[in-house]
Structure 1
């Protein structure tokens, strides 16, 4: 039976692709975004929501909705200048999320799918010891803390109201249109910039946009998804060096990598006052998606190389 779905964050990196997939699958969609106008497929209703906080009125958007996919958020900010970053994250990611969820429960929504973050688990893992969905959360930064608090509030609301909650914690998401560090990496590779990253033996999980969207759609009506937490990745972990080489191949520009020892990179980052960069480049962050596979019978439909090729084609088209 076709579902009527409310999607928040419809103009975002993930939300745009979720919207396209929902339309292809023939679902009845209401897409919400902060934009006054939004280019949506035929048959999709767009509602402009000026803010995402404790005062937002969602009643017009929730009429007849059976499933909410909540992808809107105040995202992780690399150089946050707020005097109280945690308070700012809480306004949107906690208070805004729970306000929507409470109104959804009152309106009779059956299932609330929350796009959280692997930062709820923590910032890194020991090599070969991945996070699991049932690990004790250990968020470090304000973004991760706010996402955990939202999860906890949603789980309490589910117990109180009976509305099913599904929590998905993605790792780094990449795909056509990706920005931030991943786009910078492709830009360096395209220009042939020599990079001192040829001897890194870490492992990091990532998830292709198409794989994440496929899991989100799977969770719309899968009976075993109810009230569960899922981690999601491509199912193949890469070192930073491997990622650069394979992305370079996708771009048609072999990566020019210098084999600088990891300890030297870490020392240089500390001296420059940027230890976080060393962690992201040299540290490991792996997830175990065994629960996602077993409980839902789900497999990532797109391989890493297929996803990198699609990402690279889009980047080159826009270059």
Structure 2
């Protein structure tokens, strides 16, 4: 048996399907359980004793509208994780997988982000994830157990557009993408590759406990993404080299009045955020199922 929190979310639904296809039984833990699911109140040591792995996906995501209070992040991302991890340590369950985030390490990346970086999160989201990581790392792990902290970059997959939504809108509506002058590189991870990695961590007892970045093998520029979207949906993608000073003015106006672009969106579309998965690939000693480009094509075709 494999217990999964956050089983009704995008990653959780995909992971349950993947593990079931791999012959693994799963049971979900939810705030509002249905049928044979568990709740956080009914989850106990007896449940964990019957399980091979405990995969903790549940968490409070980064709130782009900034309407959430700081304490909500720490209650859900930190305190809940502490409670569940303590239950795991007291049980016979072998594997604990915690879904953290690259944002627990850094909001701005120079070069490629590796697991060796000294964490310096800026947002309360990142800080709450890092606090949970630090709690897990502070505990002594019994020899018969394995504990993995995963730091995925932007996850995408069928029916989950993520930050690809705005780019997709540009291409489908025939609107020229105006930020061609910005040269950047970003890492992504397809949900298929993420599920593959989690399955490997459950099965492969030679993979040592620790922190692992999760990313596809190659990074792409936003201009690359626009071109991939156009090629996938067979609609020409237009990229304009609008002067940066003019783009910055439009973004600042978008902070005040409703425009498709504002300073936050501009930053997300044009910043560099490359994530190294070298440690992970060396540990699992297998290639990821999907290339970065093929994973994105699969996501785009589902829109």
TM over 0.5: yes
Which deviations, in whole Å up to 9, do the C-alpha atoms of 1:224-273 show, x marking residues without a partner? Answer: 43321111211111111111111221122222222113454345434554
The 1:137/1:89 distance shift into structure 2, 3 A limit, reads same
Which deviations, in whole Å up to 9, do the C-alpha atoms of 1:19-69 show, x marking residues without a partner? Answer: 11110111121122334437xxxxxxx4142x6xxxx45216434112111
Which deviations, in whole Å up to 9, do the C-alpha atoms of 1:199-230 show, x marking residues without a partner? Answer: 22110011111111111111113234332111
Are residue 137 (structure 1) and residue 119 (structure 2) matched? yes
- Determine if contact 1:199/1:241 at 8 Å carries over to the other structure: no
- Determine if contact 1:203/1:284 at 8 Å carries over to the other structure: yes
Q: Which residue of 2 aligns with 1:146?
A: 128
Note the C-alpha offset of 1:16.
0.9
Are residue 74 (structure 1) and residue 71 (structure 2) matched? no
Q: Which residue of 1 aligns with 2:29?
A: 32
- Structure 2, unmatched stretches of 5+, are 256-261
- Determine if contact 1:171/1:207 at 8 Å carries over to the other structure: yes
Give me the whole-angstrom Cα distance separating, in 2, the residues matched to 1:298 and 1:73. 29
- Determine if contact 1:90/1:146 at 8 Å carries over to the other structure: yes
Are residue 296 (structure 1) and residue 298 (structure 2) matched? no
Note the C-alpha offset of 1:104.
1.8
Q: Which residue of 1 aligns with 2:37?
A: 47
- Structure 1, unmatched stretches of 5+, are 39-45
- TM-score normalised by the chain length of structure 1: 0.85
The 1:8/1:260 distance shift into structure 2, 3 A limit, reads same
**What pairs with 1:31-180 in structure 2 (closer than 5 Å)?**
31-37=28-34, 46-49=36-39, 56-59=41-44, 61-82=47-68, 84-85=69-70, 87-126=71-110, 129-159=111-141, 163-180=145-162
More displaced, 250-259 or 286-295?
250-259
Are residue 187 (structure 1) and residue 169 (structure 2) matched? yes
The 1:66/1:256 distance shift into structure 2, 3 A limit, reads same
More displaced, 174-183 or 261-270?
261-270
Note the C-alpha offset of 1:15.
0.9
Give me the whole-angstrom Cα distance separating, in 2, the residues matched to 1:116 and 1:198. 32
Q: Which residue of 1 aligns with 2:259?
A: none
Note the C-alpha offset of 1:163.
4.1
Give me the whole-angstrom Cα distance separating, in 2, the residues matched to 1:61 and 1:183. 39
Note the C-alpha offset of 1:191.
2.0
- Determine if contact 2:159/2:302 at 8 Å carries over to the other structure: yes
- The number of residue pairs the alignment matches comes to 296
Q: Which residue of 2 aligns with 1:308?
A: 296
